[in-house]
Structure 1
Amino acid sequence: MVSRITIAIAAALVAFAAQSASAQGPGVEGVWSNPKGSVQVKTGTCGDKLCGVVVYASQKAQADAKKAGAEPLIGTTLLRGYRANGTAEWAGQVYVPDRKASYYSTIQLVDAQTLKVSGCILGGLICKSQLWHRVPSGGAMATR
């Protein structure tokens, strides 16, 4: 016989899983372009977290990364280990290839077409943000 406590725990786990799935759902998943249109990142789930991988980089962006000694830009995971921090906010690490370093980061879904990506140093005392825009049709393509 299943106890009421077991049922309550199972119900709580199902509710938590549904909340996590909706927080990382299709609203934030897709392909996003940085402000210059030089890099596009495909976001999606990586296990129970959110991540983003470079699917397009302009020749200049690739050359700049190579000049800095970074690995090939396309295929690099820039957004790493993000967990839902609210209904449209996530916290994780942003990897900066030309610095070969990861920084504390938040992303916020501003609207269906705009993603605010912030990276911070010194324990969050200094942060820089960019507005990324959704690539039409959800596919990687050059925007500029």
Structure 2
Amino acid sequence: MKSLLAAGLLVLVASTGAALADPIEGTWRMPSGNNATIAPCGSQFCLTYVNGPNAGQTFGRMTATGNGRYEGTVTDYTRNGREFTGKGTLSGNTLSVSGCVLGGLICRSQELTRV
């Protein structure tokens, strides 16, 4: 009986963890054809290149602000690692990530697709 209860609790804990995952978490395909992962890192979500010339490097840190929106910073390695104010918008299996200057007046965006 105890082993059955323990197995039931294990299933409950495992399913609860999956239910608490944020919709932004996972693997994403970038316009370049390379992949990136988005995973929790402290109180934020880190965007990290999986493959390509910047594999292993983090290029963004975002915090959920609600309704599929995220804010934080993005790093542009094509501009010597310059960091910009970042924002993200999740819609289904598409994540639009932008790096902005001048308080968000000028932004450069790219869309990532869930893999």
What pairs with 1:90-105 in structure 2 (closer than 5 Å)? 90-99=70-79, 100-105=81-86
Q: Distance in 2 between matches of 1:98 and 1:131?
A: 17
Instruction: Give the structure 2 partner of residue 87 of structure 1.
Output: 67
Q: Distance in 1 between matches of 2:111 and 2:84?
A: 17
Q: Distance in 2 between matches of 1:36 and 1:98?
A: 13
Q: Deviations over 1:64-120 (max 9, x none)?
A: xxxxxxxxx11100112x111113111000111121211011111111x11111111
Runs of 4+ in 1 over 6 A off after TM superposition: none
Q: Does 1:33 align with 2:16?
A: no
Q: Distance in 1 between matches of 2:39 and 2:89?
A: 14
Instruction: Give the structure 1 partner of residue 107 of structure 2.
Output: 127
- Of 45, 48, 64, the residue aligned with 2:43 is 48
Q: Distance in 2 between matches of 1:36 and 1:110?
A: 20
What pairs with 1:10-21 in structure 2 (closer than 5 Å)? none
* Higher strand content, 1 or 2: 2
* Higher helix content, 1 or 2: 1
The unaligned stretches of length 5 or more in structure 2 are: 1-18
Identical amino acids, percent of aligned pairs: 36
Tell me the secondary structure at the aligned position of residue 85 of structure 1. Answer: strand
Tell me the secondary structure at the aligned position of residue 36 of structure 1. Answer: coil
TM-score (structure 2 length as normaliser): 0.76
RMSD in angstroms over aligned alpha carbons? Answer: 1.6
TM-score (structure 1 length as normaliser): 0.62
